[in-house]
Amino acid sequence: MKLEGKKAIVTGVSKGIGLETVKLLLKKNVIVAGWGRTQPDLQHDNFTFVVCDVSQEKAVEKAYEETKEAIGDDISILVNNAGFGKMGKIEEMSTEDWKGMFDVNVHGIFFVTKKVVPKMKQMDEGHIINVASIAGLNGLASMSGYCGTKHAVRGISHSLYMELREFGIKVSTIYPGSVQTNFFDDIEGVQAHENMMRPEDVALTMVQTIETHPNYFVADIECRPLRPKGK
């Protein structure tokens, strides 16, 4: 897709991968509506921030209407990046955290994609990227809830691709390994460090995927740090 003048919605833009994706899209002259709970430190003529908690369907509907008013509804690019994770043994995991992960990571993708797809079908063009995790490809101890949500993202993405390909809509999934973000803040004994991947590199991979030829489709992207423990 040629990005010049296209319009995009990116969720989870307050920091990390979402914010870096917005910055790269803006450099490509894309008009971006960034959805998130907290406004990022970013000012640009082609950027509109919209407050949204994607786990709440009414909040998504409101954010979509605000986006339509600000930049229009001809959205060609959707990056479902918003995510939430908690680590813990199954008997110690709170029901609130378990449900919270599914509400953001799974139901959020449903709520947002449901609003954007009808117009993409009319335009016969679109690219949806769902941000999963290597946790969506493997099982990890003390991360059963998070892994469950990311496995769900994989299944949703593959099914949506089969459903939407005839309308010229691509659905890709990216599975990053450990990234230098605040994801690890709530995980005891683990901190983000320089041997993890940089969020801007994950963002670049997604933007390059969006830029591929209209008849060239990348389904899954697995990316990992080369030396996660250093030399």
Q: Model confidence over 40-64: pLDDT tens digits? A: 999 999 999 999 999 999 999 999 9
pLDDT of residue 6: 99
Task: Tokens for 157, please give them.
Answer: 């993405």
pLDDT of residue 119: 99
pLDDT of residue 181: 65
Task: Tokens for 177, please give them.
Answer: 């390994």
Amino acid (one-letter) located at 64: Y
Beta strands in the chain (DSSP E): 7-11, 31-36, 47-51, 77-80, 126-131, 169-176, 220-223
Per annotation, catalytic residue among 146, 161, 175, 216: 146
pLDDT of residue 190: 54
pTM: 0.94
Domain ranges of the chain: 7-223
Which backbone phi and psi does 10 adopt, to 5 degrees?
-125, 130
The yes or no reply on domain 7-223 and CATH 1.10.10.10 is: no
Computed on alpha carbons and rounded to an integer, the radius of gyration of the chain in Å comes to 17
Closest CA to 82 of 21, 139, 30: 21
Q: Is 175 a catalytic residue?
A: no
Residues (pLDDT < 50) of the chain are: 189
